[in-house]
């Protein structure tokens, strides 16, 4: 604002400023004529005020086209790209390191289903463009502007009703208070008034400042409280706003029943506090009868009362083959047990040996395919200890024996499957070893289905037919040989 327009008061602080001359016209056409004249007279800083958009006024007073449409277009296009990207990001993959998307596979549609993503992208475009137009327009118009000096002129109230105004701004070069007034009268103004701005209007009202400060202060309270609470601990239970279905009034298995009645603890449904009953003794699940003892247990029926507890047969057999001289020192307790077993005579109280089947049961289809299957299964389950050729070279066996040397583990070395004590075993016996385990070999009953166990037995037999020399287990550093058998191959 040009300095010479400021009116100085006694205290030398300007409190009002001349804005310009406001002329009133009674009909739109005279306003347009006046505006045209003004523009032709060289006035540039001026504005017209009408109750409705007056067509023709733009050319009359020289209003240039606004660039708002380009702004809206730019925002709209970016929003479209954003909308497509949002859907790609969130529905088509989880590549992002933070807040990754989640790849929905729904009815076989492609992960990035462009046809299905168009509606949302379109809506986002329209919404953003509308915001751009709306807020852009108000921003360009510099609104809201609640303290406009024109509102102080009572005549101006009719600008939104039925009168038309022209303002020649004092800042314009051609402005001159008396000459401009004269021109306006010539151009048909019905009333002319000076418009002054009270500069104190520009100040933010004190009331609002106070209210704003108080509001800011109040708004600070929740974050402060949260900050205080975030580092601390509390014994009070968490605030659980949305119960969802977190506490359900129902019984769940394997869990103590909820306390419905505070007076009685863990009532459950039954006296023992459970909501379920255990099966009666002797209950057998469907399909688990397993009454074909040959097939399911590997021995002939007369031993049906056999429950699977076996003496350490290996030690007994070892006795038959004079293996007791060998001292498998690699194993601590195992060595002792072997020694005991080898030294002790047959314990008469031990349960009798079951009558192992020596032929494969009828429903085991002995064939090349079964050998292959057995090989595959052997390599999965057995080779870890017994090694690929059955000679005990499996890594677990090696590592366990190394640990046992240092006294860090109890381990009975996995026998070579070519060992004579093993090769004489009937198929049923081998089956039983696999099913129920032996020494540190655990039972594989729950891991290997019956058919596969017989396949592995077949494969073991096939391996034994190959006549591989029973292994000399490689000595670990500092440890003596631990091979239980050193008989050369036949």
Partner 1 sequence: MSIVINPETDNTFEDPGKRAPLVLGGLDYGGVTENVASLWEATRPPRAWYITLGISMSFMAILGACILHLFMKGTGIWGNNNPVYWGFPIVNFVFWVGIGHAGTLISAILFLFRQNWRTSINRAAEAMTIFAVICAGTFPGIHIGRVWAFYWLFPVPTEHLAMWPNFRSPLLWDVFAVGTYATVSVLFWYMGMVPDIATFRDRCRTKIGKLVYGILSLGWTGSSRGWHRYEAAYVILAALATPLVLSVHTIVSFDFAVSQVPGWHTTIFPPYFVAGAIFSGFAMVVTLLVPCRQLFGLKNLITIRHLENMNKIIMATGLMVGTAYGIEFFIAWYSGVQTETFAFYNRAFGNFWWAYWIMVSCNVFIPQVFWFKWARTTPWFMVIICIFVNIGMWFERFVICITSLCRDYLPSSWAYFYPTEFDILMLLGSFGLFFTLFTLFCRYLPVIAMAEVKNIIPRGGHGDDHDHHETHGSPAVAGE
Partner 2 sequence: MHKQRPAIITSPIISLNKAYVRMIPLGLIIGAAGIGASFLFSAGDFSRFSFSWLTSFCALLSMSLGCLFFVIIQHLTRAGWSATVRRIAEIFAMCTLPMFVLFLPILLPVLMGKGWVYEWNVPGWSGEAASPMEKLKEYYLVDWFFAIRIVAVFAIWGAMAWFFLGNSLKQDRTGDPQISKTMQKHSTWIMIVFAATLVFSSFDLEMSLAPLWFSTMFPVYFFAGSFLSGMAVLILASLLLQRSGRITDEITIDNYHDMAKLAFSFVFFWGYIAFSQFMLIWYANLPEETFWYGYRINMDPETGSRGWQMMSLALLFGHLLIPFLGIMARTVRRNKTYLFFASIWLLFFHWIDHLWIIMPESTPEHTFNFSLLIDIPMAIGMIGIYMALFALIAGDRPLIAKCDPRLGEALNLKNH
Q: Does 116 bind partner 2 (CB under 8 A)?
A: yes
Please give the sequence-ordered ranges of beta strands (E in DSSP) within 287-370, or none if there are none: none
| Tokens describing residue 260 | 């419905």
Distance CA 307, CA 436 (A): 10
Q: 78: exposed, middle or buried (C-beta count within 10 Å: 0-12, 13-18, 19+)? A: middle
CA distances from 44 to 36, 41, 184 (A): 11, 9, 15
Partner that binds at residue 146, options partner 1, partner 2, none, CB closer than 5 to 8 Å by kind: partner 1
Pick out residues in 253-272 that bind partner 2 (CB under 8 A).
none
Please report, as residue ranges, which positions from 310 to 349 form the binding site for partner 2 (by CB under 8 A).
none
Contact pick of 18, 38, 72, 168 for partner 1 (by CB under 8 A)? 72
Q: Which residues contact 201 (CB under 8 A, 6 or more apart)?
A: 147, 149, 152
Q: How many CB atoms lie within 10 A of CB 122?
A: 13
The CA distance from 58 to 153, in Å, is 25
DSSP string, 391-404: SS--HHHHHHHHHH
Pick one of partner 2, partner 1, none as the site partner of residue 99 (Cβ within 5 to 8 A by kind).
Answer: partner 1
Q: How far apart are CA 392 and CA 419, in angstroms?
A: 10
* 115 contacts partner 2 (rule: CB under 8 A): yes
- List the single partner that 108 binds among partner 2, partner 1, none, CB under 5 to 8 Å by kind: partner 2
Residues in contact with partner 2, shown as a per-residue x/- string from 18 to 57 under the rule CB under 8 A:
-----------x--x----------------------xx-
Out of 42, 53, 108, 231, point to the residue binding partner 1 (CB under 8 A).
53
Residues 6+ apart with CB under 8 A from 171: 1, 2, 5, 20, 45
Instruction: Report the partner that residue 74 touches, choosing among partner 1, partner 2, none (CB closer than 5 to 8 A by kind).
Output: none
Q: Is 85 in the site for partner 1 (CB under 8 A)?
A: no
Binding of residue 24 to partner 1 (CB under 8 A):
no
Q: Quick one: which segment of 21-29, 188-196, 282-290, 322-330 binds partner 1 (CB under 8 A)?
A: 21-29
SS3 294: helix
Map residues 135-164 to x or -, x wherever contact with partner 1 holds by CB under 8 A.
Answer: -xxx-xx-xxxxxx-xx----xxxxxxx--
Q: Which two tokens stand for residue 204?
A: 């933010």
Span near partner 1 by CB under 8 A; candidates 98-106, 184-192, 206-214, 445-453: 98-106
List residues bridging with 23 in a β-sheet.
Answer: 166, 192
Cβ atoms 419, 467 nearer than 8 A: no
Q: Give the Cα separation of 325 and 301 in Å (integer).
A: 37
Tell me the closest approach of the beta carbon of residue 55 to partner 2, in angstroms.
Answer: 6
> Which residues contact partner 1 (rule: CB under 8 A)?
27-29, 47-54, 57-58, 61, 63, 65-66, 68-69, 72, 86-87, 90-91, 99-102, 104, 106, 109, 113, 116-117, 119-120, 122-124, 126-127, 129-131, 133-134, 136-138, 140-141, 143-148, 150-151, 156-162, 165, 241-242, 244
> Which residues contact partner 2 (rule: CB under 8 A)?
29, 32, 55-56, 69, 73, 107-109, 115-116, 118
């Amino acid at each position: 604002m040009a300095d010479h327009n400021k009116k100085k008061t006694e205290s030398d602080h300007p409190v009002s400023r001349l804005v310009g001359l406001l002329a009133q016209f009674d009909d739109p056409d005279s306003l347009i004529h006046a505006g045209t004249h003004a523009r032709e007279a060289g006035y540039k800083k001026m504005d017209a005020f009408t109750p409705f958009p007056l067509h023709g006024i733009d050319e009359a007073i020289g209003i240039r086209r606004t660039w708002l449409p380009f702004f809206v277009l730019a925002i709209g296009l970016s929003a479209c790209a954003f909308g497509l990207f949002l859907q790609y990001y969130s529905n088509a993959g989880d590549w992002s390191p933070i807040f990754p998307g989640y790849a929905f596979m729904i009815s076989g549609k492609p992960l990035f289903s462009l046809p299905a993503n168009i509606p949302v992208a379109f809506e986002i475009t329209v919404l953003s463009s509308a915001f751009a137009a709306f807020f852009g327009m108000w921003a360009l118009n510099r609104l809201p502007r609640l303290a406009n000096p024109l509102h102080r002129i009572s005549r101006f109230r009719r600008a939104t009703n039925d009168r038309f105004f022209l303002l020649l701004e004092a800042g314009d070069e051609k402005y001159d208070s008396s000459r401009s007034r004269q021109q306006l009268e010539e151009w048909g103004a019905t009333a002319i008034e000076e418009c002054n701005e009270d500069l104190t209007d520009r100040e933010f009202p004190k009331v609002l400042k106070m209210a704003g400060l108080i509001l800011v202060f109040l708004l600070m309270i929740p974050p402060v409280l949260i900050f205080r609470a975030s580092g601390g601990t509390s014994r009070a239970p968490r605030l659980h706003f949305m119960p969802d279905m977190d506490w359900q009034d129902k019984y769940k298995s394997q869990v103590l029943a909820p306390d419905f009645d505070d007076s009685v603890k863990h009532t459950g449904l039954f006296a023992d506090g459970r909501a379920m009953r255990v099966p009666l003794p002797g209950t057998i699940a469907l399909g688990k009868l397993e009454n074909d003892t040959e097939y399911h247990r590997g021995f002939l029926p007369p031993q049906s009362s056999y429950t699977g507890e076996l003496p350490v047969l290996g030690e007994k057999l070892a006795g038959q083959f004079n293996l007791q001289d060998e001292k498998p020192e690699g194993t601590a307790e195992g060595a002792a047990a072997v020694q005991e077993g080898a030294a002790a005579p047959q314990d008469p109280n031990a349960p009798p040996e079951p009558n192992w089947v020596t032929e494969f049961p009828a429903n085991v289809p002995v064939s090349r395919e079964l050998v292959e299957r057995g090989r595959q299964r052997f390599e999965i389950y057995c080779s870890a200890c017994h090694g690929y050729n059955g000679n005990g070279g499996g890594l677990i066996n090696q590592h366990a024996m190394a640990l046992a040397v240092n006294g860090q583990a109890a381990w009975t070395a996995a026998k070579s499957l070519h060992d004579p004590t093993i090769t004489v075993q009937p198929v049923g016996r081998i089956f039983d070893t696999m099913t129920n385990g032996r020494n540190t070999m655990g039972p594989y009953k729950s891991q290997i289905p019956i058919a596969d166990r017989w396949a592995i037995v077949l494969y073991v037999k096939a391996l034994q037919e190959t006549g591989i020399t029973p292994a000399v287990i490689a000595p670990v550093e500092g440890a003596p040989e631990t091979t239980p058998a050193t008989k050369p191959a036949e």
